[in-house]
Structures are given as C-alpha cells and as structure tokens.
Amino acid sequence: MIKDIYLEHGKKVAISCFSAFLCAISMNLFLIPAKVYASGINGAAQLAVNLIYSGFHFHVSISLLILLLNLPIAFLGWYKVGKMFTFYSFVTVILTSLFLGVIPVYELSNDLLLNAIFGGFISAVGVGVALKFGISTGGLDIIAIYMTRKWRKSSSGRYFMALNGIIILIAGFVYQWQYALYTLISRYVNSYVVDNIHTKYQKLTIIAVTEYADTMVDAIQARFDRGATVTPSYGGYSKKKLFSIMIVVSHYELYEMEKLIKQIDPHAFINIIETTKIVGVFRSEEEQRAVQAIKEGKIQEKRKLPLSEHEYEKCKRVIDTHNYQIGYGPGYGRYSFSNEIKD
C-alpha cells in the first residue's frame, strides 16, 4: 500500500514536470517571440512584463513574475479548493518557472499564425495530460474553481474564459489588435486539443459494472460523498450476476474516481459518458468537504457548513447509521446484495 502511494506521487510529479516543460517550450519558442499571449496566469505575466517594459523600460523576469502571481492563488487553493490538488498545481507552476528561466527565448518562425497554432497546441498537450491525471497547471484554474464553488451560477470553464478574455482585451487596447486576434486563435487551438485529450464537459457520468457493489458504493461515498444508483445486471458473455453502478462526477474528480474503482475491483468494466445537464442534487466539492468533516467529527455546528438545514439533518442521519471505515480489495464489504440479484 505504501509503495503504491509513493508510486502515485512519483507519477504525478513526473506528469507535472512533463506538463511544465511543454508549457515553457510553447511560451519561449512560439508565443513570447510572436507577442501572442498564453492562457491564464502565464498570459497575465506575459502581458505585465510587456506593460512594465513599455512604460518604464525595465525588464522583469517572466519566470519570477509567474511564481509571484501564483503564490496568493496557491494560498487560496490550499484552503478553499483542495490541498493535494493545489500542491501538485503549485509544483507544476514552480517547474514551469524553472524551465522558462532555463530555456532561451528563440524565434523558430516569424509567421504569427504558425506561432499561435503551435504555441497553443504544445501547451494544450501539457495541460490536457495534467488534467487527465488530476493535476492543474495552477493560476486561473484554481480561481475559476473557487468562483464556481462560491457563486455556483456558472461552470468553471466559463469563468476561465471570462478571465482569459480580460487579458486578451487589455492586450488589444494597449498593443495592436492583430496580436489579440492571434491570441484568440491560439486559445481556440488550445481549448480544442485539451478537450480531445481530457474532456470538454464539466460533468461526467460513470457506469461501473462490478460484482462488489457494496464495497464500491461505500468507498465512493467515503471518499467523494457522491450518490450512486445501483442496478442488478447480468453478464451477457460471462453469465455472471453483476451490478451496474451509476455515478455523476465533475471532470476534476474523474481520475481519482477511476483509480478508486479499479483499486476495489481491477476487473470492473467502466463506461464514461459526457453529461450536458443535471437536474437534482449534485454536491459541489466544498459541500463534499463539509460532509467529510461531519463524518470525521471535525465540525458539529451547522452554521459552519455550506449546507441547508435539510441537507445537514439528512447527512447526520445517514452518517449515524453507516460505518465509513472502508477497506479495499475485491470482496471487502458489509452487505449481502453484492453476490445475488434480488427480485
């Protein structure tokens, strides 16, 4: 178990390093020489460096500025978004700053369109791979997630687009509009590639077919506090009595959910479906953390939780009647319904 934990951390650090290297390559070899702006905090830092140089003829290190701009965001993410998510995001930020300082700025092509396309494409590969493994490249990702949780009126993707739009508009007003328009092209390529590597949907439906429904449902509720619908199934090929478990998750939870399902049942069949709309209860990550705090006995007062009175009482009733000390591995469970289909 400890070896698996270290391997998982090592894999995420390697992914962070790969993602940071590609982001640095895209900026120093394509975007910066062409004055096309990257997305997020990297683009904001790029714009700030240009504004400072234009106004005061003073050159600021973009790698240092990216690191400084991400410090308050890391603080926000640590306390409001999630500790491990923020930790690996900041590791990626540190490595990106390091690579930006080491890799020289060099113009491979003087064609603005080629720079915009390839700069957007290369950074998108880094960002998409990072998201696929439950890691963010930091910056506006964390701000967008926080804003979504705080106001809940839109998706994090829309907040991210709005924040990037501000950067593009400033660049257009201060400098030539052609650079802003090429930045839009780069952002489109970036979004398209990220969507193909990871997913363009904020919510996804997972259907897991397994023999061990009891263990899996308990583990999901203990780790994520996500509801699950369990349906008796029958294996057309294997002729086994099975169960189909349907869970809806956010795209940031996808990697960890897949890993958890495979940890409980390595032979589980998993089908991931894009979800365009949800009608009903879908707890935000902040609400999930509140429920976890109730389970662990850390918070007893309703006023400290982002839950309604009804939700709080419902959670208390469920928690009082369940034991959430979950074990892992095939066959570990408390209920009898996993091994038989009831009429």
Of the candidates 273, 272, 309, 304, the one whose C-alpha atom is nearest the C-alpha of residue 289 is 304
pLDDT at 29: 93
Confidence of residue 206 (pLDDT cuts 50, 70, 90): very high
Confidence of residue 287 (pLDDT cuts 50, 70, 90): low
Confidence of residue 324 (pLDDT cuts 50, 70, 90): very low
Confidence of residue 292 (pLDDT cuts 50, 70, 90): low
Mean of pLDDT values over 119-145 = 80
184-198, 200-214, 243-257, range with the lowest pLDDT? 184-198
Q: Is 203 strand, coil or helix?
A: strand
Of the candidates 76, 81, 62, 68, the one whose C-alpha atom is nearest the C-alpha of residue 24 is 62
- Measured CA to CA, the distance from residue 336 to residue 317 in angstroms comes to 22
64-68, 306-310, 327-331, range with the lowest pLDDT? 327-331
Q: Give all domains of the chain, ordered by start, each with its CATH number.
A: 2-197 (no CATH), 203-331 (3.30.70.120)
Q: Model confidence over 19-38: pLDDT tens digits?
A: 999 999 999 999 999 888 88
Lookup result for tokens 């074990």: 327
Amino acid at 125: V
Q: Model confidence over 34-57: pLDDT tens digits?
A: 888 887 888 888 888 888 887 788
The rounded Cα 38 to chain-centroid distance in angstroms is 19
Residues whose CB falls within 8 Å of the CB of residue 10, separated by 6 or more in sequence, listed in order: none
Is pLDDT at 338 greater than 60 in this prediction? no
Is pLDDT at 323 greater than 70 in this prediction? no
Give the chain's length. 343
Mean of pLDDT values over 78-82 = 74
Secondary structure string (H, E, C) spanning 235-296: CCCCCCEEEEEEEEEECCCHHHHHHHHHHHCCCCEEEEEEECCCCCCCCCHHHHHHHHHHHC
Is pLDDT at 10 greater than 60 in this prediction? yes
Amino acid at 96: T
Confidence of residue 104 (pLDDT cuts 50, 70, 90): very high
Is pLDDT at 66 greater than 80 in this prediction? yes
| Residue 67, both tokens | 């690191």
Q: Model confidence over 156-179: pLDDT tens digits?
A: 556 566 777 887 888 788 777 888
Confidence of residue 200 (pLDDT cuts 50, 70, 90): low
Between 10 and 329, whose confidence is greater? 10
- Measured CA to CA, the distance from residue 93 to residue 23 in angstroms comes to 10
The percentage of residues in the chain with a pLDDT greater than 90, rounded to a whole number, is 15
Mean of pLDDT values over 128-140 = 77
Q: Model confidence over 212-264: pLDDT tens digits?
A: 988 888 888 777 767 788 999 988 888 888 999 999 887 777 888 888 999 89
Q: Is 131 in contact with 15 (CB distance < 8 Å)?
A: no
pLDDT at 329: 42
